[in-house]
A and B are shown apart, each in its own frame.
Chain A
């Protein structure tokens, strides 16, 4: 009897450990991208503002990923012989868009307008972390509902200086 209990306890415990190990160490937070794009070089070292590339962030629900022409616009001149840039040039020559992997992926039933957040004065770094220091882009936020609610209840005061109106209304974020 005791043994059975022991087995159960061990089983449950290892199950939890396995789950969490997967969640923490094998997360989908920093997927491998088709081109090893470094935000550190662009946003950090070269100080390019976020909205230079993610042009829709204050206009639309999506921030927008820069179009290939925009990339090639600079990289026609800059570092065109670097192997990763070669990949970019290849895509451009083949007239193929780059299949980036989404790092911040929200389910279909979530309505997240970048525009409103940017206009409210939320800095990109608040949710996306200090991207300027990331060689490989990593998701620093859980993007889970509780995480959203942290700001939408009281946390917002620290970030934008006021509370979110109807912040806990389900349909503020769901659709």
Chain B
């Protein structure tokens, strides 16, 4: 049940400056809300984020490939019905099935990765201001009771239109 301070900015550079400042003064728990993806602008301030999703994608593709191959070859072995004089275990058509399942599972796993990392869906009430889906950039700082004023001040100084103190549930 900590407290947090949310500052709403009009300009990104203001917000980033504020974030930078806060970070430097030791507030590590900084969340930025924005209506658009900010990408590398944020990375300057908050540091680079690792891309774990790609492992999921890879794993998914890998799994998919095997599932597809197993499905195509394995089920052919379960009920042997020769067709077209071709080998029951034919590689060429299996590749196509595996290809598709590779992608399918890749997509699924990527989705899983996203869901896992972005912690979505989450319908719990969280700190949020609808303005950030329009044109405000929010800066949320977890603070202890003592630092509220400091942070508020810093934010205001950096150009925030509005600063509120909110309680985290």
- Footprint of B on A, CB under 8 Å? 168, 170
Contact = CB atoms under 8 A, between A and B. Distances in A.
B81 interface: yes
A168 B80 CA distance: 8
A35 to B, nearest CB: 43
The 3 closest A-B CB pairs, nearest first, are A168-B79, A168-B80, A170-B81
Interface residues of B, number: 3
Contacts of B80: 168
Interface in B53-98: 79-81
A157 B33 CA distance: 70
Contacts of A168: 79-80
A72 to B, nearest CB: 49
Contacts of A170: 81
Contacts of B79: 168
3 contacts: A168-B79, A168-B80, A170-B81
Nearest to A1: B123
Nearest to B79: A168
A168 B81 CA distance: 9
A122 B80 CA distance: 25
A68 to B, nearest CB: 44
B143 to A, nearest CB: 34
B88 to A, nearest CB: 13
B108 to A, nearest CB: 20
B120 to A, nearest CB: 15
Nearest to B123: A1
